[in-house]
Structure 1
Amino acid sequence: MSKRFDLLVFDWDGTLMDSTATITYAIRQAFEDIGLPVPTEREARYVIGYGLTEAMQHLAPRADDGQIRKVVDAYRHYYLARDQQLVLFDGVREALVQFAEAGFTLCVATGKSRAGLDRVLEATGLGAHFLATRTADEAFSKPHPAMLEYLIDFAGVEPERTLMIGDTTHDLQLAINAGTHSAALTYGAHDTDALAALQPLGIFDDFPALTEWILAHG
């Protein structure tokens, strides 16, 4: 059976790596340290997927540039303190091998910084699986389409033969803005109803279910 997609593009945090709780904790601790109003857990989860500066600006729209820099620095301190404890979701490592063997090209589009993504790619040993990666300090933050458009152009594929896979509405709106298809995972930062409202091709509760669907229908 011929494939529907040539390119699979993955978000990182909350999609491939179980990092949502750590990011949420680090955001809230950073705001407390700097003395800015502490966002609720739901508010902190909402901005996961944005670039770091954009996320903090969204949560503190009245803060000046100096306060934003301080909260970003504090966030990095708290996040890095737990960084080595983060793990991939069950089934991710095996699935990436299966996708490559099935002939898909794989890429990453993430709100992480380049330094942050390179660090986890090295730590997990997954870097070799991806043709290209794009981070929030190399393109406009999600859901602006530039990040995904770059990967599509780099891979030499058409948008309609690209599947964006993520756990937030930012990922799904990114796909819409870039003219690609999308698939959603429910175990990350945003709830199922919000994901469903953006009409991804599929919504999956774990990575093995997504993998089975892609291998059968992708």
Structure 2
Amino acid sequence: MTYKMVVFDWDGTILDSTGAITRAIQGACVDAGLPDPGAEIASYVIGLGLSDALRHAAPGASEQQIAMLVDSYRRHYLSNDHELELFTGAIPLLKQLNEMGVICTVATGKSRQGLNRAMSHSDTGRYFMGSRCADECHSKPHPQMILELMEEFDTDPADVVMIGDTTHDLNMANAAGVHALSVQTGAHPPKLLNQVPHLQSFHSINELAPWLVKTISSRL
């Protein structure tokens, strides 16, 4: 167990975007004349691919309505996504992992265009060697994103750890046979995260960072 590769979720793990996504889902439903799913349901689906998330948030919606919801969601979210900030400690941790030779990657429910936009706004693309998005792979919790990243970088499951803020991330990690850690900074509260087996849960990236660096250092 050397943790040669760390797979990060994006929204709610690296970027403090849970509130913005939740409001955009709610706003899209209202725009389409559908019931507001409420913040709890709207936040629960974060991490899934956008269409899948909206199907869960608006059960019974037709495929035509889902397409309308996708467009409306994007209008709501993109209106202020440039104002969103990274979680405190994210950049220092990424820099340190890079210096240690760890492969940092992303597995996200965002589209490729959405992730590229987010990385451009936050100037973080330099820290990640690879990524997979929901419009390129099956949506979480299917393990395809992690499996493809492991194949790309020729890593074994025992050498990989997934870090995320939702049960979707943890279930994806378990399905791929890799280790998982959770941060309590995003869409799913500890009571949900603790229902899925994983190594450990942390309140923040700042709490996670020393544990992760020490663990990796002891195995190098």
**Equivalent position of 2:105 in the other structure:** 107
For the residues of structure 2 that align with 1:61 and 1:145, how far apart are their CA atoms?
Answer: 24
CA deviations on 1:124-182 (whole Å, 9 max, x unpaired) are: 11111111110000000000011110111111100111000000000000000000000
Instruction: Name structure 1 gaps, 5 residues minimum.
Output: none
Does structure 2 retain, via aligned residues, the 8 Å contact 1:17–1:89? Answer: yes
**Equivalent position of 1:66 in the other structure:** 64
CA deviations on 1:8-49 (whole Å, 9 max, x unpaired) are: 000000000000000000000110010011101010011000
Amino acid across the alignment from 1:90: T
Single out whichever of 21-30 and 57-66 deviates more from structure 2: 57-66
Count of residues in Structure 1 that have an aligned counterpart in Structure 2: 216
Does structure 2 retain, via aligned residues, the 8 Å contact 1:131–1:155? Answer: no
**Equivalent position of 2:17 in the other structure:** 19
Q: Give the match's secondary structure for 2:6.
A: strand
> Residue 120 of structure 1: CA displacement?
1.1
For the residues of structure 2 that align with 1:59 and 1:196, how far apart are their CA atoms?
Answer: 23
**Equivalent position of 1:155 in the other structure:** 153
Does structure 1 retain, via aligned residues, the 8 Å contact 2:180–2:198? Answer: yes
Instruction: Name structure 2 gaps, 5 residues minimum.
Output: none
Aligned equivalent of 1:207, options 198, 205, 208: 205
For the residues of structure 1 that align with 2:213 and 2:137, how far apart are their CA atoms?
Answer: 30
CA RMSD of aligned residues (A): 0.9
Does structure 1 retain, via aligned residues, the 8 Å contact 2:147–2:176? Answer: yes
Listed as ranges, the matches of 1:41-190 within 5 Å are: 41-190=39-188
For the residues of structure 2 that align with 1:196 and 1:155, how far apart are their CA atoms?
Answer: 30
> Residue 204 of structure 1: CA displacement?
0.5
Identity %: 44
For the residues of structure 2 that align with 1:205 and 1:59, how far apart are their CA atoms?
Answer: 27
> Residue 197 of structure 1: CA displacement?
1.7
Amino acid across the alignment from 1:203: S
Amino acid across the alignment from 2:67: R
> Residue 199 of structure 1: CA displacement?
2.3
> Residue 61 of structure 1: CA displacement?
2.6
Q: Give the structure-2-normalised TM-score.
A: 0.96
> Residue 6 of structure 1: CA displacement?
0.6
Runs of 4+ displaced beyond 3 Å: none
CA deviations on 1:85-140 (whole Å, 9 max, x unpaired) are: 10000010111000111221100000001000001111211111111110000000
Amino acid across the alignment from 1:26: A
For the residues of structure 1 that align with 2:78 and 2:28, how far apart are their CA atoms?
Answer: 12
Single out whichever of 201-210 and 135-144 deviates more from structure 2: 201-210
Amino acid across the alignment from 1:195: L
Single out whichever of 194-203 and 159-168 deviates more from structure 2: 194-203
